[in-house]
């Protein structure tokens, strides 16, 4: 087996790695979209007037957050079929990622809402604003800038956790690199490309989130003036 870096082999596997990169981006995007929605449902579960519902919701959130994503993937993909629930690897991966990170985003949402001064809520009640109007025009515009850093961190976190999907056969970037390396008995180039691709995509994403946070804060500052 030839040692050292081979540029010809690198260029040969680039198309396959590029397709796998698109799959990784798709998996991260769909998983994040599901997590955003799931997080809202978990948040609403904590805001109900029924204590038993709040308690059950809280326990579910803590259970999901306290168990590894890999174990959850294995459970959904390998255990649920024994109870008659069979999902494809892609569907299993998207649902599991969405549920897992949805619990974290629900805490981000909750922290952002609690970051809005109580005087704002009291003023809205004193002015007899409806709940929908209070959230849409008063609370959410103030909570959104608080939530942006956490939401951005978990977007990058989902992207970096997509290699776990390879354990159930999802053809993402790490899965493709392992397949290429095993077929050609060369792992240096594919695994190096995986690291470079993740770095190339993660850094701009983090910079974009930081820029969005600064832009929103500037806009909020102008409105207050």
Q: Which 3 state secondary structure label does DSSP give 129?
A: coil
Burial class from Cβ neighbours inside 10 Å (0-12, 13-18, 19+) for residue 104 reads: buried
pLDDT of res. 219: 67
CATH number for domain 27-224, candidates 2.60.40.10, 1.10.3720.10, 1.25.40.80, 1.10.569.10: 1.10.3720.10
The pLDDT of residue 52 is above 60: yes
Q: At 5, is the pLDDT very low, low, confident or very high (cuts 50, 70, 90)?
A: confident
Nearest CA among 203, 193, 188, 204 for reference residue 20: 193
User: pLDDT for 154-178, tens place per residue?
Assistant: 998 998 899 999 888 888 888 889 9
User: pLDDT for 59-107, tens place per residue?
Assistant: 999 999 999 999 999 999 999 999 988 889 999 999 999 999 999 999 9
To 5 degrees, how large is the angle CA 87–CA 103–CA 207? 100
Helix boundaries (H) for the chain:
7-46, 51-66, 69-74, 89-114, 118-126, 131-133, 140-161, 173-184, 188-224
User: pLDDT for 113-135, tens place per residue?
Assistant: 888 888 888 888 888 888 788 88
Q: Do 133 and 157 contact (CB within 8 A), yes or no?
A: no
DSSP 17-34: HHHHHHHHHHHHHHHHHH
pLDDT of res. 225: 52
The domain ranges of the chain are 27-224
Q: Do 177 and 17 contact (CB within 8 A), yes or no?
A: yes
pLDDT of res. 39: 92
pLDDT of res. 33: 95
- Which whole number is the average pLDDT over 188-196? 91
User: pLDDT for 8-50, tens place per residue?
Assistant: 888 999 999 999 999 899 999 999 999 999 999 998 888 888 8
């Amino acid at each position: 087996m030839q040692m050292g870096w081979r540029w010809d082999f690198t260029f040969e596997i680039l198309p396959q790695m590029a397709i796998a990169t698109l799959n990784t981006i798709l998996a991260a995007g769909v998983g994040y979209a599901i997590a955003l929605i799931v997080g809202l449902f978990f948040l609403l579960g904590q805001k109900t007037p029924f204590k038993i519902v709040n308690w059950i919701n809280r326990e579910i959130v803590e259970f999901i957050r306290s168990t590894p994503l890999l174990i959850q993937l294995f459970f959904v993909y390998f255990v649920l079929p024994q109870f008659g629930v069979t999902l494809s690897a892609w569907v299993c991966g998207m649902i599991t990622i969405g549920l897992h990170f949805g619990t974290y985003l629900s805490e981000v949402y909750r922290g952002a809402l609690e970051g809005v001064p109580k005087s704002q809520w009291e003023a809205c009640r004193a002015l007899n604003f409806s709940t929908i109007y209070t959230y849409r025009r008063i609370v959410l515009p103030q909570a959104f800038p608080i939530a942006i850093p956490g939401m951005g961190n978990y977007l990058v976190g989902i992207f970096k956790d997509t290699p776990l999907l390879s354990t159930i056969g999802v053809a993402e970037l790490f899965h493709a690199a392992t397949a290429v390396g095993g077929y050609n008995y060369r792992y240096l180039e594919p695994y190096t490309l995986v690291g470079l691709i993740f770095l190339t995509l993660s850094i701009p994403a983090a910079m974009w989130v930081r820029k969005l946070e600064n832009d929103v804060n500037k806009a909020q500052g102008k409105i207050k003036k």
